[in-house]
Amino acid sequence: MAIVAFTVFLALPQAAHAQEGELNLLTDLNTPFPPGCLAIDVPEQPAGDDNLLVDQLVQMPSINSASRDQPVLVQMWRVACADEGFSVVVVRLDPVNNDALVLVPQLFAGAGSVQNPFHEAQLIKLPGSGNLGASGSILPVSGSTWMLGVNPVAIDLNGLFLFDDYNEEFTVELNWGSYSTAQPEQVRFLLDRFEPALDPPQFAQPVLHGRYSGQWVLAGAPRQGLVLQIAERIADNFVFAIFFTYLDGQPVWVVGNSTPAVATPGAVSIAMTTLENGAFITDPNQPPRDNVIASDAGSISILPLNCNRIRLSYDFTPLGHGTGTIELDRLVRIAGHDCNPWDDGTN
């Protein structure tokens, strides 16, 4: 299947701030599932045999080979997202032979059962990666697992492939025609539609991931709130939390960093501090870092409930404000990235 280069121009309405469900065109378009559906570690195995969509040995050509001389185990399954009605397709390629030198094939997808799927697909480790994936790289002899992203715009510009197509029955093609003259140059699989009873989520609770970054407010508490910055790195996440609030009637920051760790479900705990003895940011006579005193302010624990609400348990005993639990609502999110860009508000 030949690849045709093209440029798509999309006109977007100007707005003061983006609405729920708005796509970030550079990254979200190629991942028809909520970016936080999986933790950083893509699951290496399905939940069970009933969860497998594909479990087949496929002969693929090794590097510089004109024949399909290497057996590779191809497995595909779906993982449910925390958002109702959404799933992500996971693909695992596992060479049988320890000396195999095989390139990851190109992938294509098409809604329903089709002979010529015309949407480029990508094997990605991180969501929001855009149209970049593993195709053309050397397949590790230990195998590897990816999420399956799909370009919504067809190669011939005829038709779209969106999240509803992704969660229904669709065709996936693995194609090595660009790397080898081996025939046939592809293999196709028809994937069953998403079935929540067969396709469980990776975790029972949502994961506090990067798209929870933004500003959060507490109803009835004016002119104050919480800023969350959640950094997603290749191996781990960490959270920077900043309360802009008041203490004895005066504005104060209460800040904290989590310890970098692999993203896991459930609450994230953070030790909090207050800072004093600093100077205004434009003052040229800044004190040394060690002279800016960090004092214990207690701790917080953040539990994501959904894309627009978090539950926060706190212990602000060192500040004289005791313990308790509050729920905060999202005010804004970062850089045009919605927590679930495909949610039209009905989920």
Confidence of residue 29 (pLDDT cuts 50, 70, 90): low
| 344 assigned to some structural domain | no
Q: Are residues 66 and 133 in the same domain?
A: yes
Q: Determine contact, residues 221/212, Cβ cutoff 8 Å.
A: no
Average pLDDT over residues 199-223: 89
The reply to whether 163 and 238 lie within a common domain is: no
Verify that 173 and 249 share a domain, yes or no: no
Q: What 8-state DSSP symbol labels residue 317? A: G
Least confident of 30-44, 87-101, 213-227: 30-44
Domain shared by 270 and 139, yes or no? no
Regarding whether 285 and 227 lie in a shared domain, the answer is yes
The tokens for 152 are: 């919504």
On whether residue 339 sits in a domain, the answer given is no
Q: Are 57 and 162 contained in the same domain?
A: yes
Does 7 or 318 have the greater pLDDT score?
A: 318
Q: Does residue 316 share a domain with residue 174?
A: no
Both 178 and 290 in one domain: the answer is: no
Query: Which one of 160, 191, 222 terminates a domain?
Result: 191
The partner residues of 70 in beta bridges, in order of sequence, read 60
Note whether 150 and 222 are same-domain residues.
Answer: no
Q: Which tens digit of pLDDT belongs to each residue from 111-120?
A: 999 999 999 9
- Domain carrying residue 244: 210-333
pLDDT digits (tens, 9 = 90+) for 119-160: 999 999 876 666 678 999 999 999 999 999 999 999 998 889
The confidence band for 42, taking pLDDT boundaries of 50, 70 and 90, is confident
Same domain as 55, residue 158: yes
Domain count for the chain, please give it: 2
Q: What's the rounded Cα separation, in Å, for the pair 293 and 174? A: 58
pLDDT higher than 80, residue 339: no
Beta strand 214-217 with 186-191 is unpaired
The answer as to whether 7 is a domain residue is: no
pTM: 0.76
Give yes or no: residues 82 and 141 share one domain. Answer: yes
Q: 180: closest CA among 283, 106, 262, 82?
A: 106
How many CB atoms are closer than 10 A to CB 332? 12
Of residues 267, 247, 254, 86, the one with CA closest to residue 164? 86
